[in-house]
Amino acid sequence: MNLTEPQAGSDVGALKTKAVPNDDGSYAISGQKIFITWGDHDIAENIIHLVLARLPDAPAGSRGVSLFLVPKFLVGEDGSLGERNSLKCIGLEKKIGIHASPTCVMEYDGATGWLIGEANKGLACMFTMMNSARLNVGLEGVAVGEAAYQAAFEYAQERKQGKAPGVDGPAPILHHADVRRTLTTMRARVAAARAICYACGVAADLADAATDEQARHAAKLREDLLTPIAKAWSTDMGVDVASLGLQIHGGMGFMNETLAAQLYRDSRIAPIYEGTNGIQAIDLVGRKLSGTNGESMRLILGDIDATIREARATNEPQLVQIADRLRAGADALREATDWMLAAMKERDQDKALAGATAYLALAGDVIGGHFLTKAAVAARSSDTGTRARNLALAGFFAETALAEAPGRVPGIVEGGQTFLEGSEALFGV
């Protein structure tokens, strides 16, 4: 995907790459794109670039963007590779992490391309891939979080320091309560993010393959709502968990040659990829929440209410306690949702958008807690080890993230208004 240009980051409507019609129905593409992952390499025989560009008579802004297929090598009618197209990598960006992935500055100089879809409808075509990419980036957050947890857990078993009850001599730091709390935080957050991403993928499949229209509609609403949460909450989690993993390693984690340091550096790009997490929050409260008048979130809250009832119906004290925490979290999310819907309907939406990131974080916490609770209930019929692990993770998440949920509502409702009113003093605007 070739979207970003030096003067146009997330504002794709500001791009300047041109597409001039050729006599044979193709187009001559000219312009420069930056941050193109694997923009050029010799691992594949050919590379197909999907390039956003403007036709000569295109309207201004995002409404005038079209999508073009531009191959590295032109392809003959028999499928054979022909001459090289007029495009090249003119530089590799020097990044703080993900050094195994080349990120290219691409230059197109009258390169031959073909229009995909309708003229001036390129963004709609591109978002077919963008939404899939956002889920995949969310899974990057899950993956780096899991890797950071595994590295930290292994190190905590090997590194000996201090005394611990029942251990002769220096004890592995895994025996220290604060280290165990940190590791449990990492593991629970990774599990919650994984569940959110998987649920988003399931909803996407059902939106396409469910047997009746009503089921497809409900699944599509879930997919649309979960996509920005899966992307933003999971990638923020990946950075936080990678940071905690580095903390477990102590001073050794701050050394460049350690895996903990590499994971921390590599994780930081994911909240920026495919629309920054601030943009995901705006998308959540704008298109996905307000655009459905809250229907999509009401569906999710209905799922959460069903999980609460299932957990309470077990009559197991720990599951009942988890259900109570989940109920408080759901009530907080419902209150924040009602306020957000009302605020977005007002003419001045700044105070709603100022709370969007905090709202997404709350939604991720509550929905993640819902899935961990659901897993704990389902594991009652599993072996003792699985049941105990799921219950421990759900219980810990309930007493930390879910317990804090009610206190986060004022920050969503009032926090933005405070700095908006103080904008002149704070920012001179």
Instruction: Tell me the per-residue pLDDT of 134-155, one tens digit each, with 9 for 90 and over.
Output: 999 999 999 999 999 999 999 9
Alpha-helix residue ranges (DSSP H) falling in 116-275: 122-158, 177-209, 213-249, 259-267
pLDDT 10s digit of each residue in the chain, 429 long? Answer: 999 999 887 888 889 999 999 999 999 999 999 999 999 999 999 999 999 999 999 999 889 999 999 999 999 999 999 999 999 999 999 999 999 999 999 999 999 999 999 999 998 888 888 889 999 999 999 999 999 999 999 999 999 999 999 898 999 999 999 999 999 999 999 999 999 999 999 999 999 999 999 999 999 999 999 999 999 999 999 999 999 999 999 999 999 999 999 999 999 999 999 999 999 999 999 999 999 999 999 999 999 999 999 999 999 999 999 999 999 999 999 999 999 999 998 867 888 999 999 999 999 999 999 999 999 999 998 889 999 999 999 999 999 999 999 999 999 998 877 888 888 888 887
Residue with tokens 């054979």: 80
In this prediction, residue 38 carries a pLDDT of 94
In this prediction, residue 123 carries a pLDDT of 87
pTM: 0.94
The helix/strand/coil state of 160 is strand
> What DSSP assignment string belongs to 263-279?
HHHHHTTTTTTTS-HHH
415 and 422 Cβ atoms separated by less than 8 Å: no
**Distance between terminal CA atoms of the chain?**
36
Catalytic residue among 274, 295, 310, 346: 274
Q: Alpha-carbon torsion 84, 85, 86, 87, what sign? A: negative
Which helix (H) or strand (E) is 50 found in, with range?
strand 48-53
In this prediction, residue 103 carries a pLDDT of 94
Active site residue 274: yes
17 and 67 Cβ atoms separated by less than 8 Å: no
Instruction: Determine if residue 107 is left, alpha or beta; phi over 0 gives left, psi from -120 to 50 gives alpha, anything else beta.
Output: beta
All domains in the chain, ordered by first residue? 12-120 (2.40.110.20), 124-275 (1.20.140.10), 284-427 (no CATH)
- In this structure, what token pair is assigned to residue 238? 């990946």
In this prediction, residue 347 carries a pLDDT of 64
Gap between the Cα atoms of 68 and 364, Å rounded: 36
* Whole-number Cα distances in Å, 209 to 128, 132, 201, 204, 399: 17, 16, 12, 9, 38
- 169-189 pLDDT, tens digit per residue, is 999 999 999 999 999 999 999
What is the Cα gyration radius of the chain?
25
Largest CA distance in the chain: 83
Q: Alpha-carbon torsion 86, 25, 16, 268, what sign? A: negative
Cβ neighbours for 290, distance < 8 A, ≥ 6 positions apart? 340, 341, 344, 345
The helix/strand/coil state of 255 is coil
